[in-house]
A and B are shown apart, each in its own frame.
Chain A
Amino acid sequence: MSEPTGNATQRLPGTLRDHRLAAEAVARGLKARYWAERRFKFYGLAAVSLGMLFLAVLFFSIISKGWSAFRQTYVQLEITYDPALLDSDATSTKEALAQADYNAVVKAAMRKLFPTVEGRPNLRKLYALISSSAGFELQHRLADDPGKLATTERVWLLADDDLDQYYKGRILRSEVESTRPLSDQQLDWADQLRKSGAAQLRFNRQFFTSGDSREPELAGVWGAVAGTFFTLLVTLLLSFPIGVAAAIYLEEFAKKNRMTDLIEVNINNLAAVPSIVFGLLGLAVFINFFGLPRSAPMVGGLVLTLMTLPTIIIASRAALKAVPPSIREAALGMGASKIQMVAHHVLPLALPGMLTGTIIGMARALGESAPLLMIGMVAFIVDIPKGLFDPATVLPVQVFLWSDIPERAFVERTSGAIIVLLAFLIVMNGLAVLLRNRFERRW
């Protein structure tokens, strides 16, 4: 911009010249500025794409590691329920059969399949291809039908996890023999088994029906799923009514005073407090002070209730706010009391929004593990929990526990458990979206 000149006759051409100069200066800079514009826009797009890329890599990595956990190798053996092995004193009573050595039967069947193998160390290697649970399986079969004694049948038995991993390509022949769990000889047997069709990958029922185990081929998520169910049941039953009641009070009844302010500040803060701190609270209050049992879904549910309450309260308040005041005024105008107005008119209209918020809160609780570590839900628990006070663990903690085990088969199980967890989350969030789209009303 030029200095103002005193003379009016000189000013006009002067400003015109300045304008032209300025326009030229702008034009000179335009190219760089447009370039900067494109660059800036590109950064934005790159950031969004990078975020998506992370998401894709994460999902790809988990699914590629975990999908194989849903299939498991079974080996078909010709089992002879040999009375000489099972029923040595020839009484064939239930007690005698229950205590018999069924592994001997399995071993005999394996020897029959590979008649050329000799020598104790070699045989031991051969037996190692079948899961240690095979004996129990046979025991159950015989207990169900005692008439099978002294007969022969073909049975599909669980393979050991190392054999399973070899078939799935996670143990390679090209590895150095001493660093892989299977020896060259065992790999040869494995190839023979596969060629003869006696070993097959089948749907892994075990993974969905059993609890935790030290043996990868026996470990399943059902115990953790049941624990999750009980924990979330407690959370839902407590946090939904309490959260809705608190939201109604704050939105419809509370007067604007210090008490209400204090409550609001507290709710907003609690929503951002690290979850592990809730675990410390649970440990100090519920377990040490009230003496509730450790590892119980009841305590886990209580801790998660305190953690999800702020989410539910905030969502429920938003839902109440969205109900137009005219509804309230109409109800009051017809002579309804305030409670009647809320219970009969406002609440039914706000309920879908509240439910959506609750489901989202529950989904967050489902993925939470840190506070549950504090209250002892990290124990190794084989039994499926049957109640609120049985020791239990939950899905994310099961993931945490398995991720610590170095065995290769557990990497696959961990990813499999993660897929199950993510599937639950997707279902819950999908439900929330559905609910919102179906029932959301715009006024």
Chain B
Amino acid sequence: MSASTVVLVILVLAAIAYRTGRARSFAVVGGRRGQRDLHSLPSYYGMLTALWCALPALLIVGVWTASQESILTRLMLAQMPESVQSLPPDQRSLLLNDVKNVVAGNMRLDQISPQEQAAARKFLELRALSRMAMAVVVLAAAMLGALIAWYRIAPQLRARNSVEKIFEWVLLGCSTIAIFTTVGILLSVLFESIRFFQQIPIWDFIFGTEWSPQTAIRADQVGSSGAFGAVPLFTGTLLISAVAMIVAVPIGLFSAIYLAEYAHPRFRAAAKPLLEILAGIPTVVYGFFAALTVGPWLRVVGESVGLNVASGSALAAGLVMGVMIIPFVSSLSDDMITAVPQSLRDGSYALGGTQSETIRRVVLRAALPGIVGGVLLAVSRAIGETMIVVMAAGLSANLTANPLEAVTTVTVQIVTLLVGDQEFDSAKTLAAFALGLVLFLVTLGLNIIALHVVRKYREQYE
């Protein structure tokens, strides 16, 4: 039986358990008349029985299927003849790969060597055994759980409390997924990064100015020594983000001021959602627009004034990214501006200030921390933005501050290093995870500061 059938059977069993548990709760008090003697509603007795039946069984299924693959592989290797066990690690992983392909149905048995065929047969045999064992164990657990719950049903049993306790635990479990995600991200990038830093010293990575991740496959290869100095990537990322912020901050901030302070409510109601459409457009669309429309257009404009704009220039990617970020800046600034109490404005008007003076000298000063927080969030988004730069920025690492030249970014390099075939122990692949670690830490830092500033500011006026 496959795992999905087992799960289906468990669910059916749980439904049956519900009915029998409910029926028994009536039985122990002598029919429907005696329902008043029960501690909880009959359906809670049913639910308790069903939960006792399904939860342990489902848990076993989950653990079993998650660990089955690796345990079976180890068992299979242990049962193979000496010749297989003494294979060097790379050949052994090749064999395992072929076996897995056959098992998954991607290859036919006659496409692989006899040795591998034997291994594949062994694996299939073991897997059949394991599936059978799982079915037996799981069904036994389900029956046993239901039986115990059924046996315990009595008028005094506090079924509702038990069921609600279980539900509360489930709710708590769901909310801890956020923590597990963060830990998962950290562990997955940290683990591979440490392996990377064992090969490449961490200082060479952070302070090196040469980035060419192609490592030599053969020793005599030319020009692919592999240099992992990430400084050009950092400067490229910063350059593009800076261009983006130069576009997004003034436009976003002034839009927010106009919409919050000047605009007629009806104009505001129409314009705000329209601006926010800019944030809802998929980034891949912006990337396409940057690469096919803005990039060539900038080149033509540059030529007409005698400037040489490289294809994949930081300017094209930055400009389009800036447009994407406008709504982030504007809606956050808008929130901050509208949160400034009206009394501050009234005070300024009473002293004879014009509206713009009031905005500049009173409202913006009061809202400044919040706006800075919003801008920091926008910077973190610009740094982590991927598709626009993958499609519109360059690939070669270029240490320059000239926005007309092509630069590459951290995210572009992560994508180019990880898309396509990869072997998991080369420095090239691991470098992507080291870059991911840097990216995660930098954006995390920015987010924490920004969220802290924004929250602190919000509390001020509440």
Let me know if A284 is at the binding interface, CB within 8 A: yes
Residue contact B181 to A266, C-beta cutoff 8 Å: yes
Residue contact B384 to A400, C-beta cutoff 8 Å: no
Residue contact A291 to B444, C-beta cutoff 8 Å: no
Query: Quick one: which of A48-64 are within 8 Å of B by CB?
Result: 48, 50-52, 54-55, 58, 61-62
**Please, how many angstroms separate the alpha-carbon atoms of A364 and B443 in the complex?**
20
Residue contact A280 to B185, C-beta cutoff 8 Å: yes
Provide the A415-440 mask, 1 if CB < 8 A to any CB of B, else 0: 10010011001000100000000000
* Shortest beta-carbon distance from A347 to chain B in Å: 12
Provide the B155-178 mask, 1 if CB < 8 A to any CB of A, else 0: 000001000100110111011111
Q: Contacting B354 at CB < 8 Å: which of A37, A262, A339? A: A37
Query: Quick one: which of B248-301 are within 8 Å of A by CB?
Result: 250-255, 257-259, 261-263, 271, 274-275, 277-278, 280-289, 291-293
User: Which residue of chain A has the shortest Cβ distance to B386 in the bound complex?
Assistant: A370
Let me know if A79 is at the binding interface, CB within 8 A: no
Let me know if B411 is at the binding interface, CB within 8 A: yes
Chain B residues, Cβ within 8 Å of A248:
171
Tell me if A's interface is mostly helix, strand, loop or mixed: helix
Q: Contacting A270 at CB < 8 Å: which of B70, B176, B178? A: B178
Residue contact B287 to A403, C-beta cutoff 8 Å: yes
Q: A280-B432, A280-B436 are in contact. Are A273 and B174 (CB under 8 A)?
A: no
**Please, how many angstroms separate the alpha-carbon atoms of A269 and B254 in the complex?**
27
Let me know if B383 is at the binding interface, CB within 8 A: yes
Let me know if A378 is at the binding interface, CB within 8 A: yes
Q: Contacting B282 at CB < 8 Å: which of A39, A250, A367? A: A367
Q: Contacting A367 at CB < 8 Å: which of B252, B283, B424? A: B283
Residue contact B448 to A26, C-beta cutoff 8 Å: no
**Inter-chain contact total with CB atoms closer than 8 Å:** 267
Let me know if A337 is at the binding interface, CB within 8 A: yes
Residue contact B178 to A36, C-beta cutoff 8 Å: no
Residue contact A421 to B424, C-beta cutoff 8 Å: no
Residue contact A250 to B289, C-beta cutoff 8 Å: no
Residue contact B254 to A43, C-beta cutoff 8 Å: yes
Chain A residues, Cβ within 8 Å of B69:
291
Q: Contacting A369 at CB < 8 Å: which of B185, B383, B387, B448? A: B387
Residue contact B171 to A272, C-beta cutoff 8 Å: no
- Among A37, A250, A403, find the residue whose CB has the most chain B CB atoms closer than 10 A: A403
**Please, how many angstroms separate the alpha-carbon atoms of A397 and B274 in the complex?**
26
**Please, how many angstroms separate the alpha-carbon atoms of A39 and B258 in the complex?**
12
* Shortest beta-carbon distance from B421 to chain A in Å: 10
Chain A residues, Cβ within 8 Å of B443:
272-274, 277
* Shortest beta-carbon distance from A243 to chain B in Å: 8
Residue contact B258 to A263, C-beta cutoff 8 Å: no
User: Which residue of chain B has the shortest Cβ distance to A260 in the bound complex?
Assistant: B175
**Please, how many angstroms separate the alpha-carbon atoms of A279 and B274 in the complex?**
30
Residue contact A403 to B288, C-beta cutoff 8 Å: yes
Q: A44-B262, A274-B386 are in contact. Are A429 and B288 (CB under 8 A)?
A: no
Let me know if A98 is at the binding interface, CB within 8 A: no
Residue contact B189 to A266, C-beta cutoff 8 Å: no
List the 7 closest pairs (A to B, CB-CB), nearest first: A274-B384, A44-B258, A367-B282, A284-B188, A47-B254, A40-B356, A246-B175
Give residues in A with beta carbon < 8 Å to B: 26, 33-34, 36-37, 39-41, 43-48, 50-52, 54-55, 58, 61-62, 65, 241-243, 245-250, 253-254, 262-263, 265-270, 272-278, 280-281, 283-285, 288, 290-291, 293, 306, 309-310, 313, 337-339, 363-364, 366-370, 373-374, 378, 396-397, 399-400, 403, 411, 414-415, 418, 421-422, 425, 429
